[in-house]
A and B are shown apart, each in its own frame.
Chain A
Amino acid sequence: MNPLKALLKRSMFFALFIAFLVLVLCMRISGVWLHEWAATLFILAVLFHIKSNAWQLGHLLYLKSAYFYYRAFVTSGLVLAFLAVSISGIFISHFVFAWLDLPWGRVMRGLHTAAAEYFLIFVGLHAGLYGSKVQALIKDNLGQAVMRGCVLFSYVVAAYGLSLLFTEDTLNKLIMRDSFAFFDYEAPLIFSVIDTLARLLGAAVLSSLCSSLLLGISAGRGTDKLKA
């Protein structure tokens, strides 16, 4: 397949993926009914994504190096968060899985809120593992100037996103103090989308920088061993 076509095909899949994810995370846009249906379809998309990349799970610790330990940590965290948010979501469902009539309560609702926050963060960290690959793809297909522009734009948005992530609100969700998420109903809807995407990008850029650093450390140690 033409490399540009392949890039476009993968880009479309991930653009849809992110659109689904935003629809799920920004309940202010979707409302509960659409949130549940989007989440159900998103689960199926994730399962397809896992199936397509299942071979990677067998090579999580391909090398015992800092980078691969980090990669394994991110992948494990992502899988756990995905399971927690999906299962707790099924428990507290009011529409799609309401017929199951599962007992829920404050704990399950708190777990869902926390797991959703962990999921958002780990999705960002996971995406960041492929930061260099995405940069290379953009550079090869669209040129270095475009790639640099994208990187600069990403850093600016990521800085804003990180300022939203490192807050007391996020901490309260992560430690299950919040049973309900806060949405600013006074602000325009698009702000919810921008904030969610910025937080994702913040985690992704952080992870990308972390990966590059750990890869460098791992490569350096490998070189030392070769020299020895």
Chain B
Amino acid sequence: MKLRNVLPACALAVSCLLGSAASTAVAADFSSHKTAVLYYTLAQNRIGGDDWQQEHPVGNTEYLAQLIAKDTGADLFSLVQVKPYPNDYDEVTEIARAEQQQGARPELKEVPDLSAYDVVFVGYPCWWGSYPMAFATYFDTGALNGKTVIPFTTHEGSRFGHSLTDLKAALPQSKVLDGFAKRGSDAQDEDSAAEITEFLQDLEL
């Protein structure tokens, strides 16, 4: 068999394989699902504000949540604690670390009712490699049992940390998909919307 006959055949075979691979990947169709976006943002859970907060009235995680809700037609819900954190970022990180070590369960002002939804985006800032303990309080209610959970997070280098492992452990009766991670300081950049859209298009529900 001559090489000039083999090469086109190989190229054809490869292109067929690639084509078939591409055709089996189905983008998520949210119109057939009842979707909610549940997020936690520090901006809604701290006392007062500072210069940064005055310039950014919407928190980073909240901003991404709004983008996701806009693209998917989802309903927005947020977790707000009864006792907010202090205004100082460093104090917040120390308290958050202590809460994580102690397995604390901060009291929530309201427990959102997501019983009508089958797909829930769960958004949080990645604190010490995991989600804020307010989410642990919410997960304990079993409100996300039987649902498809899609996490998204804002971080400062750690991406998801071990929060995906923690999510799967906390939600054994939910299906946790791969999520979206964005650096917090870049969350409100112009390219976030395009990145979110691309992420949503690549999702396979």
Contacts and interface: CB of A to CB of B under 8 A. Distances in A.
Given A104-B90, A105-B90, A106-B90, A180 B164 contact: no
Interface stretch (B9-17, B73-81, B152-160): B152-160
Given A104-B90, A106-B89, A106-B90, A182 B164 contact: no
Given A106-B89, A106-B90, A185 B164 contact: yes
A178 B156 contact: yes
B195 to A, nearest CB: 15
Contacts of B183: 177
Interface in B90-109: 90, 97
A178 B157 contact: yes
B42 to A, nearest CB: 13
A173 B158 CA distance: 11
Interface residues of B, number: 17
Interface string B136-172: 0000000000000000000111111110110000000
A86 interface: no
Contact of A182 (B89, B97, B159): B159
Given A186-B164, A186-B165, A181 B157 contact: yes
Interface string A171-203: 011000111111101100000000000000000
Contacts of A172: 157
A177 B156 CA distance: 8
B155 A180 contact: yes
B89 A183 contact: no
Contact of B158 (A104, A106, A181, A186): A181
Interface string A88-108: 000000100000000011100
Interface of B: 89-90, 97, 126, 129, 155-162, 164-165, 183, 185
Given A106-B156, A177-B183, A185-B164, 19 more contacts: A94-B97, A104-B90, A106-B89, A172-B157, A173-B157, A177-B157, A178-B156, A178-B157, A179-B157, A180-B126, A180-B129, A180-B155, A180-B161, A181-B158, A182-B157, A182-B159, A183-B129, A185-B129, A185-B161
Interface of A: 94, 104-106, 113, 172-173, 177-183, 185-186
